[in-house]
């Protein structure tokens, strides 16, 4: 399963062939999100072991775009990404989720260290 780092996502935004799917609860999405992302709040269902919840919102996910799934820290999004892959979508997870995105935006030390580790580990 693939992941996309926050700096890589930032380089590609806005991109018509990229669909940013934020699965966090609506309240969290409204507190802050990636510009142009679409909120489909299935986080709780996927976290609780029901990735089929994504099937109920299948019409919200374009079949012809690369899908970047976003959650809080990237953990639950990996499950969603895997499920979307199984359904035939070209899907990747935003590495570090919104926490990683915010760290990237702020240029935080934690993000820089994490980014270095990603580079070293490939």
| pLDDT for residue 38 | 95
Exposure string of 96-116, with b = 16+ CB inside 10 Å and e = fewer, is bbbbbbebbeeeeeebeebbe
| pLDDT for residue 15 | 74
| Domains of the chain by residue range | 2-121
- DSSP annotation of 16 reads T
| pLDDT for residue 106 | 85
Q: What is the C-alpha R_g of the chain?
A: 14
End-to-end CA distance of the chain: 13
| pLDDT for residue 83 | 93
> pLDDT tens digits for the chain (122 residues)?
598 999 999 999 987 789 999 999 999 999 999 999 999 999 999 999 998 998 888 888 998 999 999 999 999 999 999 999 999 999 999 999 999 999 998 877 777 777 777 777 76
Other C-beta atoms closer than 10 Å to the C-beta of 84 total 23
| pLDDT for residue 120 | 75
- Of the candidate CATH numbers 3.40.50.2000, 3.40.250.10, 3.40.50.720, 3.40.47.40, the domain formed by 2-121 belongs to 3.40.250.10
Read off the pTM. Answer: 0.87
| pLDDT for residue 90 | 94
| pLDDT for residue 117 | 77
| pLDDT for residue 1 | 56
| pLDDT for residue 60 | 85
């Amino acid at each position: 399963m693939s992941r996309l780092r926050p700096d890589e996502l930032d380089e590609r935004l806005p991109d018509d062939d990229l669909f940013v799917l934020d699965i966090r609860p609506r309240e969290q999405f409204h507190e802050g999100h990636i510009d142009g992302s679409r909120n489909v709040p299935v986080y709780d269902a996927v976290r609780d072991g029901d990735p089929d919840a994504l099937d109920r919102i299948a019409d919200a996910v374009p079949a012809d775009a690369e899908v970047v799934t976003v959650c809080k820290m990237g953990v639950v999004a990996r499950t969603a990404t895997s499920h979307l892959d199984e359904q035939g979508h070209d899907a990747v997870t935003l590495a570090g989720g919104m926490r990683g995105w915010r760290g990237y935006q702020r240029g935080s030390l934690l993000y820089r260290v994490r980014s270095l580790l990603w580079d070293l580990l490939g």
